[in-house]
Amino acid sequence: MKSKLGFHVDIQGHHGQVEKMIRARPRVIKIITSMGMLNDLHDALGDETIFIARDWKADDDFLRFGGSDDPKVIARRWLDAMRPSLVQAPFAYWESFNEMSNWDNLRRYAEFEAERQRLMAAEGYKACIGNFATGTPSISDSEDDTERPDL
């Protein structure tokens, strides 16, 4: 069975990195911002590799980015802002915000992600949802997971 391990390229790759990834033929590659590298890798590896993409046109405060408390409005604004990147790599699964700073916004974030996925699918794009960065939001040892229905 082919390994499910993959590469994560954060903004700028390093010399020889693209060639190394092509030789490795990984199952998954995540690229942040570098649309040229994303397309080069897809051209070389095709649909045998799953590509996850994220563009940092927006910071991670999704409420401030959207300028609204309405998750559906924010999802539409995200799609409108990201469309120039989406059209460059329609084969990729696209992430949105991933560094949630507190649990109080998590329910709205979940509603945003559901709407974002629906809007993207309606236009033929793929969403990759629920991608929290390590430690965000922080979870205490005493946290009761049953208290987090938004997850």
Question: Is 39:88 a contact under the CB 8 Å cutoff?
Answer: yes
Look up residue 101 and give its amino acid.
S
pLDDT tens-digit readout, 38-79: 999 999 999 999 999 998 776 667 777 777 889 999 999 999
Distance from chain centroid for Cα 123:
17
The Cα–Cα gap between 109 and 74 comes to: 10
State yes or no: pLDDT of 7 exceeds 80: yes
- In angstroms, the CA 29 to CA 21 distance is 9
**pLDDT at position 48:** 92
pLDDT digits (tens, 9 = 90+) for 101-141: 767 778 888 899 999 999 999 999 999 987 776 666 666 66
Dist CA 124 CA 117 (whole Å): 10
Torsions phi, psi for 99 (to 5 deg): -120, 75
